[in-house]
């Protein structure tokens, strides 16, 4: 397996690692840095897991309780001993852990309680349910919901990174006007209209959009690389996630 350690900013901490090595490091020791990075990773990907759980329960508060309890156990390293990056993708590992957890809850048939001094992942439960109500009404499976929300979360993360780069370069205003050209968004203005608004030529706008799209692809590839075991899986995972986003 190729060594692909790279820098992935977890909440701006600059923790130099990949998602898989975060899981492995946290499972093998008590590094505060690894534990913090793992918690940030959970904060990033909580909604795809919530959406999966929500498809299995009828009440929003039950889905919130179950998702929170899963994260409590995940962060307590109950599942990390099973982590093996040679066996698949990080999203598959995380979903597999969640399925095992839900099966266990069903077997024990017990009601979960909130709080109790346990580690919790902070999220806005009202926002979670509002987002869930926007999910497609067609009869997709929980796994399909999970994959789509995972892909969109990954894309949102990459777009946020690109926005931070443009802000640091003093190009925030240009990026704000051009970001809708980057990923299949419906544009209300033409290149010519946008160019006039920015005081640029239409050709310069098209060149800038091309460069931003190229940088977005690079960042997306880098982010996907963090979630697979080998370099060979990157393109396959990219194709899958892009297909999921485009429906």
- pLDDT score of 27 more than 80: no
Question: For the segment 52-69, what is each residue's pLDDT rounded down to a tens digit?
Answer: 999 988 888 899 999 999
Question: For the segment 126-144, what is each residue's pLDDT rounded down to a tens digit?
Answer: 576 776 666 666 668 899 9
pLDDT bracket for residue 3 (50, 70, 90): very low
Query: Residue 185: left (phi > 0), alpha (psi -120 to 50), or beta?
Result: beta
Q: What is the pLDDT of residue 10?
A: 32
Q: What is the pLDDT of residue 32?
A: 78
Q: What is the pLDDT of residue 74?
A: 86
> Phi/psi of residue 101, each to 5°?
-65, -45
**Domain extents in the chain:** 19-246
Question: For the segment 179-192, what is each residue's pLDDT rounded down to a tens digit?
Answer: 989 986 567 789 99
Please state, in angstroms and as integers, the Cα–Cα distance from residue 168 to each residue in 2, 171, 205, 210, 241, following that order.
32, 8, 20, 19, 28
Helices (H) and strands (E) in the chain, counts: 11, 0
């Amino acid at each position: 397996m190729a060594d692909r350690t790279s820098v992935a900013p977890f909440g701006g901490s600059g923790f130099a690692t990949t998602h898989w090595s975060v899981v492995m490091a946290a499972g093998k020791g008590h590094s505060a840095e690894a534990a913090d990075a793992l918690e940030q990773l959970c904060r990033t990907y909580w909604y795809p897991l919530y959406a999966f759980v929500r498809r299995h329960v009828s009440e929003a508060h039950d889905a919130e309780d179950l998702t929170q309890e899963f994260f409590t156990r995940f962060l307590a390293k109950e599942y990390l001993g099973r982590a093996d990056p040679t066996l698949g993708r990080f999203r598959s590992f995380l979903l597999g852990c969640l399925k095992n957890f839900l099966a266990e809850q069903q077997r024990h048939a017990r009601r979960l309680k909130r709080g109790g001094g346990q580690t919790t992942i902070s999220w806005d439960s009202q926002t979670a349910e509002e987002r869930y109500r926007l999910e497609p009404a067609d009869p997709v499976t929980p796994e399909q919901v999970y994959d789509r929300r995972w892909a969109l979360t990954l894309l949102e993360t990459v777009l946020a990174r690109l926005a931070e780069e443009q802000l640091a370069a003093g190009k925030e205003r240009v990026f704000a006007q051009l970001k809708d050209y980057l990923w299949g968004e419906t544009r209300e203005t033409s290149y010519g209209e946008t160019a006039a608004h920015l005081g640029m030529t239409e050709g310069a706008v098209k060149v800038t959009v091309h460069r931003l799209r190229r940088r977005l692809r690079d960042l997306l590839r880098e982010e996907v690389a963090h979630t697979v075991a080998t370099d060979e899986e990157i393109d396959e995972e990219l194709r899958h996630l892009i297909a999921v986003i485009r429906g």
